[in-house]
Amino acid sequence: MSDINPNETMKDFIFKYLDEGDFYKYLRLSIVVCAYLIFRKYYSKWAGNKQANDQFAQDKKELEAKPEKDRIAREEAERKLEEESKTFGWGKQTRKNVKSTQAFLEEQIEEQRQRHQTAYDAAEDHDIEYLLD
């Protein structure tokens, strides 16, 4: 009728159908899979926080260094303008003023372009936002 013997332990019952070595392999595999499923969530959260903190620290460092870099770039541009104004004939002060004005206007145009691009990107995201929900 039934193959279940009340005096038989669970271990004996399992080993009747599976080889003992196979059973321990499957048990080990199931423990590894369960541990992976449990710790994957915690590791993903930890890795995300670590990446965010590293990015925040890098952004902060770049933000602190930006004024110095801008100052150096501005001084380099002024020095270059000085050299250009010395190489050409008459009207040195006028050429210097024109080059300075030109450099200033180029900076303003670039800033304006970046502002419009940022506004455009935000508007573009807003247009498709309902699709992302």
Q: How confident is the model at residue 40 (pLDDT cuts 50, 70, 90)?
A: very high
pTM higher than 0.75 for the full model? Answer: no
Instruction: For residues 55 and 60, give the distance between their C-alpha atoms in angstroms, rounded to a whole number.
Output: 8
pLDDT (0 to 100) of residue 132? 66
Give the model confidence (pLDDT) of 60-72 as tens digits: 998 888 888 888 8
pLDDT (0 to 100) of residue 127? 66
From the list 118, 80, 113, the residue with the least C-alpha distance to 99 is 80
